[in-house]
Amino acid sequence: MKNNKKNPVLLIVLVLIAGALVFVAAIVTFGFLTENTARNQARFSAAILTDLRRIEASLLDAETGQRGFIITEDPSYLSPYTRGVEEYGTAYSGLRDRLRDVQTTSQRMLLEDLSSSSENKLAELAQTVELVRRGERARAIAIVKTDLGKDLMDDIRSVIAQLENEEQDILQTTLAKAERVQHRIGVALIAALVLILGLLVMVFYLFRRSERLDRTEDLLDEVTYHRDRAELLAQELSHRVKNLFGIITSIVRMTGRGETDSGIVVGKISDRIGALARAHSLTTASETRKHVDMKELVQAVLEPYHTDTHDFTLDGPAVTLDSGILTPLGLILHELATNAVKYGAWSAGPGGCIAISWSVADETNGASSSLLHLTWAEKAGAGSALVEPEGFSQSSSGFGTKMIEMSTKQLKGSFKKKWNDGLVVELVLDLDDEFTDGSN
Amino acid sequence: MVLWLSWSLTWMMSLPTGATDLDIRILIAEDEALIAMQIEMDLEDAGYRVVGPYLSLPTCLEALKTERIDAAVLDVDLAGFDVFPVADQLQEAQTPFVFHTGRGSHERILARFPDAPICKKPAEVTNLLKQLNLPASIG
């Protein structure tokens, strides 16, 4: 039995790995977004700072032009002034637009301060330039001397410096936050990777363990199988031993009847038990269902009778017999052999031979079955002849004949004998029939 | 001992038999040829008439239809089949029978036939007869 059950721990670990991967993906995305925000903020802040510098520079230009014009009264000195005023307009509106949606309260207020101071400054410049144009240079100088323009310029510088600081602060805060986030992401990434690594090690371990468990289970199955088989064999063996004791008891009791000479009785009993033993020696206890070969069985049973003068021939295909056939067929063959020694081919001089042949025919009438035809034909040796016994054709009530009949019945077969210059026995057995060895 | 002897004697008297030749017919169901033969011969020596031996269940069931049977010796496993259908019919006809088995455990038999006598194989015929409440010899 293979361990194909879902391992809940393995499932949990795999889910955890998937979770960790999702987490890694999420923090990497978050890190990327944070960095992007920081980069945008830096770009934005740089633009703001540039705007502020342009505003300051434009106002200084305008002032420079005004001063030159006041001193020289030469209109060509006015060009920085004119350029400065224009430049201021675009720079300021650019800054205002940029900050419109993101400005802080203090930025808004500083922007208003900048706007009003710049407007005042520009108004002062415009007024003095206008006075010089109208030839009232003394009044213009008087206005400059009031230090109003200088004070306004100082205010403007101060406000711009504050705005710059403010923007720098915002940028630094954003960058610092991004850095913190990056640091945390780094730590989280390492932790997640360590976790994933740990989980993968766990998966590997679980697979190894499940493999080991499978192997252990296989081993256990095998042990159980062999133990069951051994038990079955022991039972089978026990049955066969009991059965054989029953058969041996019967042999002893029956052989003893009607005989007065104990020597003859003992000889017959030991011959019959010997035949039984030889037939059963063909099976081994190593298989639960034992099969024996036809040829081996005949050889084993006839072996003690086989001498130079007691010959037999075997002719037939390889046939595997169920072990249940051993006792009846072995005893039949043994009775025929002892009969041959007493009255048949092996009784009359040398050269007597028994031809034992068999064939298997498959019959398919209804259920398929294969029939074993066994022929036992005795022939006398050269120069001697066998004499048909008196009353051969009448049914005999002798022990041997009766035992053969009964054993044939046990094999659900048929038995026929005839005389053809010697005894000829024909035995037909159904091989497919389930023979039991009577071990009950 | 005295009890079963007197019982069997009364039972024997009630049998419709000749004065000298008691015709008690015992069926043998046994699938091992030699053991069947031995029981047959021993029963015949003891003066009984043997019906069979039957080495398979179908032949045995067939015999129940035609033969008169006074008692039976039943091997539990007949060539791979339980002999129980035979025992059922005998029980119905109130014919005494004894189970003759090589099996160590008798649970399966007692579950179906709690009162049936059981003899362990190989059993002496005298023992089988005793379990059938029959005398050891009527010759």
pLDDT digits (tens, 9 = 90+) for A207-259: 888 889 989 999 999 999 999 888 888 887 887 788 888 888 888 888 877 77
CA distance B67 to B70: 10
Chain A residues inside the 8 Å CB shell of B75 = 438, 440
CB atoms within 10 A of CB A95: 22
pLDDT of residue A288 exceeding 50: no
Q: Do A331 and B33 touch (CB under 8 A)?
A: yes
Residues of B in contact with A432 (CB under 8 A): none
Structure tokens that stand for A92 in this block? 């300021």
Residues on chain B bordering chain A, Cβ-to-Cβ distance under 8 angstroms: 31-38, 41-42, 45, 53, 55-56, 75-77, 79-80, 101-104, 121-122
Per-residue model confidence (pLDDT) at position B26 = 92
Task: Report yes or no: A431 and A324 within 8 Å, Cβ to Cβ.
Answer: no
What is the ipTM metric for this complex? 0.71
Tokens of A21: 């991967």
The two tokens of residue A215 are 């192997």
| Residue A391 scores a pLDDT above 80 | no
Q: Are B32 and A410 in contact (CB under 8 A)?
A: yes
pTM of the full predicted structure?
Answer: 0.56
pLDDT at A396: 61
Range in A19-28, A45-54, A302-311 the model is least confident about: A302-311
Whether residue B132 contacts residue B98, with contact meaning beta carbons closer than 8 Å, is answered with: yes
Report CB contact under 8 Å: B32, A254. Answer: no
Q: Cβ separation of B32 and A257 shorter than 8 Å? A: no
How wide is the angle at C-alpha A108 spanned by C-alphas A102 and A113, nearest 5°? 150
Lowest mean pLDDT among A19-23, A71-75, A258-262, A381-385: A381-385
The arithmetic mean of pLDDT across residues A399-421, rounded, is: 83
Instruction: pLDDT band for B104, please (50, 70, 90 cuts).
Output: low
User: Judging by DSSP bridges, how do beta strands B49-54 and A414-419 pair with one another?
Assistant: unpaired
pLDDT tens digits along B110-124? 888 888 888 888 788
Distance (Å) from the alpha carbon of A336 to chain B's nearest alpha carbon: 16
| Residue B8 pLDDT class (50, 70, 90 cuts) | low
Find the helix or strand (DSSP H, E) in which A283 lies: none
Q: What is the pLDDT, as a whole number, of residue B17?
A: 47
DSSP letters for B44-57: HHTT-EEEEEE-SH
Instruction: Look at residue A190 in the predicted model and tell me its pLDDT.
Output: 92
pLDDT at position B9 is: 53
Pairing of strands A311-315, A353-363: parallel
Bridge partners (DSSP) of residue A369 are A363
Confidence of residue A86 (pLDDT cuts 50, 70, 90): very high
- What DSSP character marks residue A354? E
pLDDT band at A158 (very low <50, low <70, confident <90, very high): very high
Q: Identity (one letter) of the amino acid at A380? A: A
What's the pLDDT score for residue A433? 57
CB-count exposure of residue A404 (10 Å: 0-12, 13-18, 19+): buried
pLDDT of residue A88: 92
Mean pLDDT, rounded, of chain A: 84
- The candidate with the shortest Cα–Cα distance to A271, out of A380, A416, A397, A400, is A400
Pick from B35, B41, B42: CB nearest A246: B35
pLDDT over 90, % of chain A: 25
- Residues A440, B122: C-beta atoms closer than 8 Å: no
Candidates B30, B34, B100: best to mutate against A (most CBs of A within 10 A) is: B34
For residue A389, is the peptide bond before it cis, meaning its omega torsion is within 30 degrees of 0?
Answer: no
pLDDT at A385 over 80: no
In this prediction, residues A386-392 reach a mean pLDDT of 70
pLDDT for the residue numbered B1? 52
- Mind listing the pLDDT tens digit for each residue in A114-144? 999 999 999 999 999 999 989 888 888 988 8
Structure confidence at residue A59 as a pLDDT band (50, 70, 90):
very high
Q: Of residues A357 and A257, which shows the higher confidence score? A: A357
* Residue A365 pLDDT exceeds 80: no
pLDDT attached to residue A48? 92
The token pair at B55 is: 């080495």
Mind listing the domains of chain B with CATH numbers? 2-131 (3.40.50.2300)
Asked if A355 and A377 count as a contact pair (C-beta separation under 8 A), the reply is yes
Q: Give pLDDT tens digits for B18-72.
A: 444 678 899 999 988 888 888 888 888 888 889 878 988 888 898 888 988 889 9
* A127 or A283: which leads in pLDDT: A127
In this complex, the residue of A238, A253, A410 whose CB is nearest that of residue B55 is: A410
Quick check: A330 and A292 in contact, CB under 8 A? Answer: no
The band of A62, judged by pLDDT with boundaries at 50, 70 and 90, is very high
Residues of B in contact with A236 (CB under 8 A): none
Cα Rg of chain A (Å, integer): 62
Contact A70, A78 (CB under 8 A): no
pLDDT score for B122: 79
B38 contacts in A (CB within 8 Å)? 249-250, 253-254
